[in-house]
Amino acid sequence: MAEESATNPLREYFERNPGRLIDKWVHYFDVYHRHFQRFRGRAVTVLEIGVYHGGSLQMWRYDFGPQARIVGVDRNPRCATLAEPGIEIHIGDQADRGFLRRLKASAGPFDIVIDDGGHTMAQQIISLEELFDAVKPDGIYLVEDLHTSYWREYGGGYRHPFSFIELAKGLIDQLHAWHSRDGHSFLPTPFTQSVTGLHFYDSVLVIEKGPHPRPVQKRTGTPVFPD
């Protein structure tokens, strides 16, 4: 761990946490470090759904730096008191489409969205549907605690057709739609054209946005054998 902390500033902050309570699965820190490094020190806007005691918002502000604007969302009105310079809090329900639309109009667009809210299927799905287009073209949408997709009390269950993880498996198809040979039933969508990668980890999905035009195949070098 000592070695990991030394090379992962977020993990290091978490372990010595000088601020408010943070509640994270520890293996998430490798994921954050891998995908968020390129945003450090920039004037980014980061939205986290799920404020709780406010500690993770402080961690993001520390890690992304003084130019970063951190936006927290929680349905618990007590969280409103946790705002501080660089950290704003919006009170509302992540499953309320009207709230999310107002949120993105007033606080977006976002470089990074982190969904660490209530983790039910409806909450994760509605938040993705409403907030995905509020992520900047080179930004990231990250969903945590995907293991709830396997838990009935969260609306999931193994291979439950309406779980978030089943929706995420469908996104893998959309990522590959440029290669479709299935005519009208399988065509590139705005998602296909605006996402460069889907990264699945234990309980975390990272959707990396970027321009994704029709892929080009190319050959270089001298052939050795006839085709």
Ligand X SMILES: C[S@@+](CC[C@H](N)C(=O)[O-])C[C@H]1O[C@@H](n2cnc3c(N)ncnc32)[C@H](O)[C@@H]1O
Active-site residue (options: 119, 160, 184, 212): 119
Using rule CB under 6 A, residue 15 touches ligand X:
no
Q: Quick one: which of 4, 12, 15, 93 contacts ligand X (CB under 6 A)?
A: 93
Using rule CB under 6 A, residue 95 touches ligand X:
yes
**Cis, bond preceding 213 (omega within 30 deg of 0):** no
Q: Quick one: which of 88, 115, 116, 130 contacts ligand X (CB under 6 A)?
A: 116
Choices 110-118, 153-161, 193-201, 203-211 (CB under 6 A): range interacting with ligand X: 110-118
Relative orientation angle of helices 97-107 and 121-131, to the nearest 10 degrees: 40
Instruction: Using the minimum distance from each CB to ligand X, give the nearer residue, 92 or 188.
Output: 92
Choices 113-121, 178-186, 188-196, 206-214 (CB under 6 A): range interacting with ligand X: 113-121
Q: Quick one: which of 50, 139, 155, 156 contacts ligand X (CB under 6 A)?
A: 50
For residues 147 and 196, what is the distance between their CA atoms, to the nearest angstrom? 24
Using rule CB under 6 A, residue 94 touches ligand X:
yes
Helices then strands, each counted (H, E), the chain = 8, 7
Q: Which residue is nearest to ligand X (CB)?
A: 118
The burial of 90, by beta-carbon neighbours within 10 Å (0-12 exposed, 13-18 middle, 19 or more buried), is given as: buried
Residue the block writes with tokens 């402080």: 58
SS3 content of the chain, % helix, strand, coil (to 5): 45, 20, 35
Active site residue 179: no
Residues that bind ligand X (CB under 6 A): 22-24, 48-52, 55-56, 73-76, 93-95, 116-118, 123
